Amino acid sequence: MTSPQKAEHILSVENLDKSFGAVKILKDINVAIEPGDFLVLVGPSGCGKSTLLNCIAGLEKSTGGEIKIGGRSMNGVSPKDRDIAMVFQSYALYPTMTVGKNITFGMKVRGVPEAEQQRKLNEVAKLLQIDHLLDRKPSQLSGGQRQRVAMGRALVRDPQLFLFDEPLSNLDAKLRVEMRTEIKRLHQTLGASIVYVTHDQIEAMTLATKIVVMKDGIIQQAGTPNEIYNQPANMFVADFMGSPSMNLIPAQLEAVDEKTKISINRTDMAGIELMMDRKIEGLAGGSKSVILGLRPENISDASGQNAKDGQVAECRVDVVEPAGSDTFVVTNLGGKQVTARMNADVQIMAGDMANFAFDLSKASIFEPESGARIA
Amino acid sequence: MTDWLEKHVPKLVLAPSLVAIFVFVYGFIGWTAYVSFTKSRLLPKYDLVGTIQYEKLAASPRWEVALTNLAIFGILFILFATVIGLILAIMLDQKIRTEGPLRTIYLYPMALSFIVTGTAWKWILNPGLGIESVFRDLGFENFSFDWLVNPDLAIYTVVIAGVWQSSGFVMALFLAGLRSVDGEIIRAAMVDGISTPRIYMSIIIPSMAPIFLSSFIVLSHLAIKSFDLVIALTGGGPGYSTDLPATFMYAMAFSRGDIGQAASSATVMMMIVTAIIVPYLYSELRPRHD
Amino acid sequence: MKKMLMVSSALALGLATTAAKAEPQAEVLHWWTSGGEAAAVKVLMEEFNANGGTWTDMPVAGGGGDAAMTALRARVLSGNAPTAVQLKGPSIQEWYEEGALGNIQDVADAENWDELLPEAIQYHLKCDGDYCAAPVNIHRIDWIWANASILEDAGIEPPKSWDEFNAAAEKLQGMGILPLAHGGQAWQDATLFEAVVAGLGGTEFYKKALIDLDMDTLKSDKMVEVFDQMRVLRGYVDDNFSGRDWNLATAMVINGEAAFQIMGDWAKGEFIAAGKEPGKDFYCSSPTGGGYLYNVDSFAFFNVDGDDRQAGQKLLAKLTMGKNFQKVFNLNKGSIPARLDVSMDEFDSCGVQSNKDLGTAIEQNALLPSYAHGMALRGAQAGAVTDVVTAHFNSDMSSQEAVEQLAQAVAASQ
Amino acid sequence: MTDLHMNDTHMDDRANRNRLMKRIALRFGLYTLLILFALYYLMPLFVMVVTSLKSLDEIRTGSLLSLPREIDFSSWGKAWSSACTGIQCEGLRPYFWNSVLLSIPAVAISTLLGAINGYVLAQWRFKGSNILFALMLFGCFIPFQVVLLPMALTLGALKIAGSIPGLMLVHIVYGIGFTTLFFRNFYVTIPTELVKAAKVDGAGFFRIFFAIFLPVSPPIIVVTIIWQFTQIWNDFLFGVSFSQAGTQPITVALNNIVNATTGVKEYNVDMAAAIIAALPTLLVYVVAGKYFIRGLTAGSVKG
């Protein structure tokens, strides 16, 4: 990821380290985005994503490395001088100020003329449809309204860079989806550059132009949503991104000409064998234990599209979970639960033997020890 | 420069208070500890003489009485103030129509010092004037309440007056706690058919553990500091049977003119305080994961 | 808030500037705060002010001067000692030894104090041979106050020894009358104790025991007898005596609830306030047989800066010993003048008696400084004695054990 | 909290009636107990008020708890303006103002210091700040008798011995521990994101404090003021040790009236004086007691 510093990078983070005492929170972080990018930092809690965001905002001091915003080094620059705006998980609305005052507080502090403050306030209020709430106190608002006010406070700033710290996680599911769309629309209409932290991989997938997956203070993978989803760099990313998550099945690989034979053991019956049309480097005649990563949508019923390749195996159905648009069917392969995404109208009962069709063109192969992607 | 200032503003703001605390608390404790190794009488002297004062203290029957009293008083005072405070809070929590006035009545003793109420208490507890005589006048000839004048029991009257002053505050703490207990848990328990006393005993009271701790600390600090109470009520008597370490220390320093002895007793007091407070501070302030 | 600070510092400044004038200044720390006492001291203030001085009153009551001593110590340590302080007995010398007291010998020379004051009293007022304090009065401590009508009904004369007292008390008890009103506070227990020591043991015994703290005397059989008598006295007291203020005990005698009280001459004020007449409604007598337990209140003069304050000390010393003040103050207070040349014409019979006994005691060398009121011993030692006395009186400790504890406590306090 | 009495459903009439009776009996017992406790708490005040309204004769002869035969307010007037507190017989009045002059600035300053200390310790933590907080807290527990003498030395060295500012300093210093504790525990409950948001908005340390934190603090300010005012107004030990003529607070004057040693005692005046001296704190508790409990709920107690 150490891309050469380009002028158009709105944000670049280089070799960033952060530790609290002996505990290293961030290790050698390198990220860069271009204007208009929507960067989502995603990972489980404690992975360091919020710390990274706070470092970018200048709310926490890094212990090493550099952060540049708009090409300017941010070393020793206080948050207010970084030309950023931030939206917080708890919204952090000032409880004793009205909505209007909350939104204009920053401008007031910076000494923006009164008239200008009013103009911007009206503009933003209209954009976010909160004009009727301006005289209320935060305690009189609903969660969604507070969320909008928090965004309003960021928008009036009109900064180079927006920072969002899990802004939707305090909302209920329905509202969360609505606000997600809203944020996406704002991004598109304003063309703003955004760094967005979440632990929700769906938010990450839907919003991002660029995703950084983190774990234990280390970047696991950075790339477009498509790259992250289809070519996860390791088993952690594979497992973390996507819902239901990728099936990770212990398997044996063996090179057969230009193809690769995949053998999967089963505890209760004979194993299955599948052929993959690709050649995997480094098999050199012998067989090799790997982890086979397959998204649920790459396993379907025999009537589905996957069946054409003939990679079909009969498996025992453990659980059937109809989900409306699809039906998820769980079986057991290689000692693991494996989920297949089948047609909604598939006629299968738990306990049946059924044919599962495997689409191996999008399969990922991982090294069992390190979890790193092989192919 | 401005950067440095900006970064260190919080520390700079805290500094005056910290300096004050270091001088006026720790400096003074150090001074007292030093003086406890001298033979200071009327005014402090600074020639060290070793541990004579502590040996004298250990041999003093009056100091022994004072320590025993602190134990008796401390335990009973904390126990009764907590129990009564809790009971009052629970009773007041039952949608009592006159809660406001009652709460004020229970709380007001906290507003008064014993210089104000001392004489009244002395009269009330005095067998010839107070409760005993009132009951006898009412026809209960054998009613007896003469703790104040009984050297073995006088310390208990100090407990009565002490509890009177502090239990209202404890009630306020508990009431605040009860009001912040999650109503959902209680509704859930009621749906399960658990009786009201059981709900209190096994759900609400255990959930207020932090308040028990807070009130324990407030009360133990009051117990150790108790001074006015004893001076106003019994003056340490009968004899010196109600002396507490604080009154002992005061008597030595100011009426006896034996500052060295006073300093040694103060040092022992501070050690007792430390033994109680430090574990509390540790448990309260050890880093937690948010 | 800023304004408030300014107001208060202006106040402090105001005080400072008034102090800068060269008029005699006196800030007087004392604990005469009740109506009668205040009226008595007020005479001094008026004279002081009439002589061009400015009197600043600094009263601190409580605990027989304990609170005032607390304040005094704080004031001296902070280098802000009051001009004059109500002090007495060895504590004057103690403060002198701490280097805190000044000198008024020139006033004493000019006013001829050595001629006017009994020698025993002079002793208390001098620091290394020079006067450092001015006396206000002589209190007699060993008075037995008696309700006249009770005594008449019982056919008892005011007792003049402990044997007489015991006999009278037995008789009264037999009649269902409470013999002795007493307040169970340590200093009152000590007041009883010293009267018993002086009465049973006599003058020499008292001096050896409570002034010299002679170990043999403290451990003697006589001392066991003294504690035995204390136990007997305990039997004459009602059950509610603990913590009772002395004036409530006096009221019991006034109201006829008890026959006797053993208390200093300030108790007379209560009788008189209740409209009683000495010799008619109540009697005063002493159980010490010629001994005279006294307590001399005095103003001690601390080291102060500034001509005005030093001038104030001199003026105050002079006026304190003035005939008029000595008379008026003591008429009010129940005590008698410290200087011997004041006419006793206006004093009542108890005052006259006290004055006469004082003369006799001087001749017979039977003037005894009161230990209970801080005239005989230093604070720590007096306190050690009192601890034992009060512990004995308030428990069922045996006399033998009390004597042992007494010797131990005294040894430890030295 | 919710009412713990279950709704009576599906009960036949008799059971219903029984329950009702039981409930009434329970309520009756509850109120009786509450009133008994109230009597216990009120007793000393009752004795004081009643005694202050009696004549001296009646006090000497009558029962402690009996009501006055004739209500006599004269002792109140005397206590306020003509009782002797020394040679001067001006009652409590001059001392009352000393106490006001002392306690209002002292309460204000120690509250403000506590607020800003609490703000730092809760929202601007730095390495070691928890230890510093613990050290400050420990200061709450020091028995005041211990510090009298070194304090006298220090005040003398600072040249403010005997002055109201000196006394104020003493009260402020020993109040800081508690005020800091109150505010710190209150501010800890406020999300740290608020400070972050304000920082991004460009506000500095003080601006955040005055514009955002102070406005949310009234509940805890009330608690702190009540606590500090009670402590300072009622203090005797510091008042008697670190004042001089002209700066003595009301408790010292009250003590001079009540604890006169060898003079005639006027108990009715003593009691009236005691009540007068206690009126300001009593008033504060009666008026603001409600907010006191509310403030405790608002976060000074971790629960």
Q: Return the amino acid letter for B290.
A: D
Candidate from A151-165, C60-74, C199-213, D253-267 with smallest mean pLDDT: D253-267
Candidate from A214-218, A312-316, B14-18, D69-73 with smallest mean pLDDT: D69-73
pTM of the model: 0.83
Structure letter (DSSP) for residue B22 = I
Q: CB of A62 within 8 A of CB of A18?
A: yes
pLDDT of residue A77: 87
CATH of the domain at A272: 2.40.50.140
CA pair distance D282, D286, nearest whole angstrom:
6
CA angle C92, C93, C95 (to 5 degrees): 70
pLDDT of residue A41: 94
Report residue D104 CA to chain centroid gap: 13
- Same domain? A277 vs A191: no
For C266-299, write each residue's pLDDT tens digit. 888 888 878 889 989 999 999 988 889 999 999 9
DSSP A37-53: -EEEEE-STTSSHHHHH
For C136-145, write each residue's pLDDT tens digit. 999 999 999 9
- Same domain? A229 vs A262: no
For A1-49, write each residue's pLDDT tens digit. 444 444 578 999 999 999 888 888 899 999 999 999 999 999 998 899 9
pLDDT of residue C174: 92
pLDDT of residue A310: 66
Q: CB of A300 within 8 A of CB of A257?
A: no
pLDDT of residue A309: 65
pLDDT of residue A4: 46
* C-beta atoms of B102 and D65 within 8 A: no
What ranges make up the beta strands (E) of C117-246?
A: 126-127, 130-131, 133-135, 139-140, 143-147, 178-181
Q: Calculate what percentage of chain A has a pLDDT beyond 90.
A: 47
**What are the beta bridge partners of residue A279?**
none
Q: Is pLDDT of C149 > 90?
A: yes
Report residue A266 CA to chain centroid gap: 33
Domain boundary pick from A185, A218, A240: A240
For C61-94, write each residue's pLDDT tens digit. 876 677 888 888 888 888 888 999 998 888 898 8
- Same domain? A222 vs A259: no
The residue count of chain A comes to 375
Specify the number of domains making up chain A: 2
Chains A vs C: touching, with 3+ CB pairs under 8 Å?
no
* Interface contact B3, partner A, CB < 8 A: yes
CA pair distance C228, A328, nearest whole angstrom:
102
Give, in order, the Cα–Cα distances in Å from C167 to each of A174, C195, C263.
101, 17, 20
For B97-115, write each residue's pLDDT tens digit. 888 888 889 988 988 888 8
Domain boundary pick from A207, A240, A273: A240
Q: Calculate what percentage of chain C has a pLDDT beyond 70.
A: 93
Q: How many CA atoms lie within 13 A of B6 on its CB side?
A: 13
Residue A221 makes CB contacts below 8 A (sequence gap 6+) with A211, A212, A213, A227, A228, A232, A233, A234, A237
- Would A5 be classed as within a structural domain? no
Task: Give the structural domain span for A285.
Answer: 247-366
Task: Please report which helix (H) or strand (E) contains residue D252, including its range.
Answer: helix D250-258
For C154-199, write each residue's pLDDT tens digit. 999 999 999 999 999 999 999 999 999 998 888 899 999 999 999 9
- Same domain? A292 vs A191: no
CA pair distance D88, D244, nearest whole angstrom:
15
Identify the band that residue C22 occupies on the pLDDT scale cut at 50, 70 and 90: low
- Would A193 be classed as within a structural domain? yes
Can you give the C-alpha Rg of chain A in angstroms?
A: 25
Domain boundary pick from A240, A260, A289: A240
Identify the band that residue C263 occupies on the pLDDT scale cut at 50, 70 and 90: very high
pLDDT of residue C11: 41
pLDDT of residue A343: 87
CATH of the domain at A134: 3.40.50.300
Q: Calculate what percentage of chain C has a pLDDT beyond 90.
A: 47
- Same domain? A101 vs A66: yes
Dihedral of the alpha carbons of D220, D223, D229, D232, in degrees to the nearest 10: -90
For C32-53, write each residue's pLDDT tens digit. 877 677 778 888 899 999 988 8
Q: Calculate what percentage of chain A has a pLDDT beyond 70.
A: 96
The alpha carbon dihedral of A126, A129, A132, A137 has a sign of negative
Q: CB of D81 within 8 A of CB of D91?
A: yes
CA pair distance A32, A70, nearest whole angstrom:
11
Output phi, psi for C55, to 5 deg: -95, 125
ipTM of the predicted assembly exceeds 0.90: no
CA pair distance B192, A358, nearest whole angstrom:
51
CA pair distance D1, B103, nearest whole angstrom:
17
Candidate from A123-137, A338-352, D81-95, D152-166 with smallest mean pLDDT: D81-95
Q: CB of D8 within 8 A of CB of D16?
A: yes
pLDDT of residue A307: 57
pLDDT of residue B289: 43
Q: What is the mean pLDDT of residues D12-19?
A: 76
CA pair distance C370, C187, nearest whole angstrom:
11
Structural tokens at position A74: 């941010």
DSSP, collapsed to helix, strand or coil, labels residue A255 as: strand
Interface test with D, best of A96, A102, A160 (most D CBs within 10 A): A96
Q: Which of C94, C98, C243 sits opposite B148 (nearest CB)?
A: C243
* Interface contact A139, partner B, CB < 8 A: no
Q: Which of D105, D252, D256 sits opposite C4 (nearest CB)?
A: D105
- Same domain? A288 vs A221: no
Structural tokens at position A103: 């939104």
Q: What is the pLDDT along chain B (290 residues), one digit of tens a residue?
A: 466 777 788 999 999 999 999 999 999 999 999 999 998 888 888 888 888 899 989 988 889 999 999 999 999 999 999 999 999 998 888 888 888 888 889 988 988 888 888 878 888 887 777 777 777 777 777 777 777 777 778 888 889 889 999 998 899 888 888 887 777 777 777 777 777 788 888 878 887 877 888 788 888 888 888 888 887 777 776 777 888 998 898 888 887 788 899 999 999 999 988 888 888 878 777 655 43
Pairing mode, if any, of strands A312-316 and A299-301? unpaired
Tell me how far apart the 2 most distant CA atoms of chain D are, in Å: 82
Task: Please report which helix (H) or strand (E) contains residue A73, including its range.
Answer: strand A72-73
Q: CB of D185 within 8 A of CB of D301?
A: yes
Residues of C in Cβ contact (< 8 Å) with D252: 60
Q: CB of C276 within 8 A of CB of C251?
A: no
**What are the beta bridge partners of residue A221?**
A213
Interface test with D, best of A105, A158, A164, A197 (most D CBs within 10 A): A105
Q: CB of D44 within 8 A of CB of B131?
A: no
Q: CB of C365 within 8 A of CB of C203?
A: yes
CA pair distance C312, C331, nearest whole angstrom:
25
Q: Is pLDDT of D186 > 60?
A: yes
Residues of D in Cβ contact (< 8 Å) with C76: 152
Q: Is pLDDT of D288 > 90?
A: no
Q: What is the mean pLDDT of residues A90-96?
A: 89
Q: Which CATH superfamily is domain C23-139+295-351 in?
A: Periplasmic binding protein-like II (3.40.190.10)
Give, in order, the Cα–Cα distances in Å from C318 to each of A17, C112, C324.
84, 11, 12
Scored b (16 or more CB within 10 A) or e, C278-295 reads beeebbbbbbbeebbbbb
Q: Which of D153, D241, D256 sits opposite C61 (nearest CB)?
A: D256
Residues of A in Cβ contact (< 8 Å) with B6: 78
DSSP, collapsed to helix, strand or coil, labels residue C299 as: strand
CA angle D51, D57, D61 (to 5 degrees): 80
Higher local confidence (pLDDT), C179 or D297: C179
* Interface contact A96, partner D, CB < 8 A: yes
Mean pLDDT of the residues in chain C: 87
Give, in order, the Cα–Cα distances in Å from C163 to each of A266, C195, C239, C393, D274.
115, 13, 23, 19, 45
How far does the CA of residue B105 sit from the closest CA of chain D (Å)? 6
Q: How many CB pairs under 8 A join B and C?
A: 114
CA pair distance A87, A150, nearest whole angstrom:
6
- Same domain? A108 vs A235: yes
CA angle C200, C202, C203 (to 5 degrees): 150
pLDDT of residue C145: 95
DSSP B121-169: HHHHH-TTTSHHHHHHHTT-TT----GGG-TTTHHHHHHHHHHHHHHHH
Q: What is the mean pLDDT of residues A248-264?
A: 88
Q: Is pLDDT of C2 > 70?
A: no
Mean pLDDT of the residues in chain D: 84
Residues of D in Cβ contact (< 8 Å) with B88: 34, 37
CATH topology classification for C140-294+356-413: D-Maltodextrin-Binding Protein; domain 2 (3.40.190)
**What are the beta bridge partners of residue A262?**
A253, A274
Report residue B183 CA to chain centroid gap: 32
CA pair distance A351, C114, nearest whole angstrom:
124
Q: CB of A212 within 8 A of CB of A40?
A: yes
Residue with tokens 């039997």: C235
Task: Please name each of the domains of chain B with its CATH number.
Answer: 61-285 (1.10.3720.10)
Domain extent listing, chain C: 23-139+295-351, 140-294+356-413
Pairing mode, if any, of strands A210-215 and A38-42? parallel
Residues of A in Cβ contact (< 8 Å) with D191: 90, 92
DSSP B49-92: --SHHHHHHHH-HHHHHHHHHHHHHHHHHHHHHHHHHHHHHHHH
Residues of B in Cβ contact (< 8 Å) with A76: 3
Structural tokens at position A141: 């608002």
